[in-house]
Amino acid sequence: MPWGELTRARVVLTLKNPRYTGAFVYGRYRNRQRPDRAGRYSCLVPPGEWLVLLRDAHPGYITWEDYEENLRRLRENAQAYGVERRKSPPREGPALLQGIAICGICGARMLVKYRAGDNALYSEYRCERGSTEKGLPLCQRVPGTTIDEAISQLVIESVNPLALEVALSVQKELRSRIEEADRLRRTHVERARFEAEQARRRYMRVDPDNRLVADSLEGEWNRKLRALQEAQKIYEEQRQSDRRLLDSQEEAKIYALASDFQELWQSPTTPHRDRKRMLRLIIEDVTLIRGNDITMHVRFKGGATKSLTVPIPLSYWQMRKTSPEVLREVDTLLNDHTYEEIAKIFNDRGWRTRVGNSYKPVRIMRIQERYGLKSRYDRLRKAGYLTLQEMAQALGISPKAVQERRKRGLLKSVRVNDNPEYLYERPAAACFVEKKVGR
């Protein structure tokens, strides 16, 4: 093989090649006729169907066990391609269900897509099997933020002292039953050993000249030895599985974990990858179905299931859309207040925008312009208020003199906007105020 740049395809082919274990293999691929007989194609066959497999035929770089472990990792880490794709390992990114989300329509594993916005990453779970393989539209796409919040709450509720106490009580009951079963299996082994010893004694006491009886007793002894060996094998295998039971110290550690888990899970310093690893210790996979709402079927480790329903979150433009209540209030307040004053009123009330920000004057101005509300200037003009030039012409004085009289309180005016721009009442009312002050 010529030397060249290392590529992903070359790495995968190397890991899948049993030659590097020191094995000689023949028949890994089979040529088969196409159904339309337009030609032949080559396909990889399982190891059990290889024609020749000789392990340790020559020095290898890795062991056969390492080779099988590499194949298992490749199957688990497969991403978007291939029929045998499995859940992917935890990676960076806030999507909790990355690699364990399953499409509830076609059954394929869903991919994660991220969108950057507002200094954060927004996730979306997408089923692209039909789109990738057959050019079909996306099977379904589900926003991830609401789902991740629901899953986080479910995990926190699942890992609590009460739930763990119930689980450990069940564990204790199972332990007592397993101990009883272990006692019965041990009794079975002792009985098989006793019968084998009895058969041995009968064989040792037989007259060697009586070959027929001796052969019969020897056969019986061999059968009892095989039964003893089988009973011991079953007993040891079962004991290995029974050792997974928790002892008292591990129970104490689990109770401590329940009190610390929520703090650890919600800590901003906990990496997303570690949070996903913890999730996979509890949840096997989650099936997503998008309809009028989003339905989640959660499958826990051990086989328990739970179904959740969450509303479909608002789209980006819906989140930015002003609520009817705010719109009506802006329309009312524009009669007597400027943008800055309206923003201050909203903030004093504790109102926030759709994305949680405080109101600013420019936000009020954009609401007025976007929804076609009549501006404060137009409202005042319709009510009969005059501009600076019109007021100066009506009084026969200069605009500067009008401004001086406004500052001295001789003319009644209203502020139009957040800039120092004013409109004035009609001259009759203004002259009346001036004459009254002069008296």
Q: Break the chain into its structural domains and give their ranges.
A: 8-77, 101-159+264-311, 161-245, 321-373, 381-438
The percent of residues in the chain predicted with pLDDT above 70, rounded, is: 81
Q: Residue 430: pLDDT above 60? A: no
- Which is higher by pLDDT, 384 or 214? 384
Higher pLDDT, 167 or 149: 149
What is residue 239's three-state secondary structure? helix
**pLDDT band, very low/low/confident/very high, at 189 (cuts 50, 70, 90):** confident
Say how far apart CA 296 and CA 148 lie, in whole Å.
11
Please determine, for residue 132, whether its predicted confidence score (pLDDT) is greater than 70.
no
The answer to whether the CB of 265 falls within 8 A of the CB of 271 is no
Q: What average pLDDT does the segment 334-356 reach?
A: 87
Average pLDDT over the chain, rounded to an integer: 80
- Distances in Å between the alpha carbon of 243 and those of 60, 175, 236, 278? 36, 10, 11, 23
Closest-CA residue to 313 (of 70, 91, 86, 145): 145
Distance CA 46, CA 10 (A): 21
**End-to-end CA separation in angstroms for the chain:** 111
- Please classify residue 272 by burial: count the beta carbons closer than 10 Å to its beta carbon, then call 0-12 exposed, 13-18 middle and 19+ buried: middle
Long-range contacts of 223-229 (CB under 8 A, 24+ apart): 223/199, 224/192, 224/195, 224/196, 224/198, 224/199, 225/196, 225/199, 227/192, 227/195, 227/196, 228/189, 228/192, 228/193, 228/195, 228/196
pLDDT in tens, 360-411: 988 899 888 888 899 988 999 888 899 888 888 888 899 899 888 888 888 8
Residue 314 pLDDT:
67
Query: Is domain 381-438 classified as CATH 1.10.1660.10?
Result: yes
Sign of CA dihedral 163, 166, 169, 171: negative
Strand locations in 301-366 (E)? 305-311
Q: How many helices (H) and strands (E) does the chain have?
A: 16, 13
For residue 41, what are the contacts with CB-CB under 8 A and spacing of at least 6? 31, 32, 34
Please report where in the chains the tokens 């926003």 appear, as a residue.
143
| pLDDT: which is higher, 104 or 245 | 104
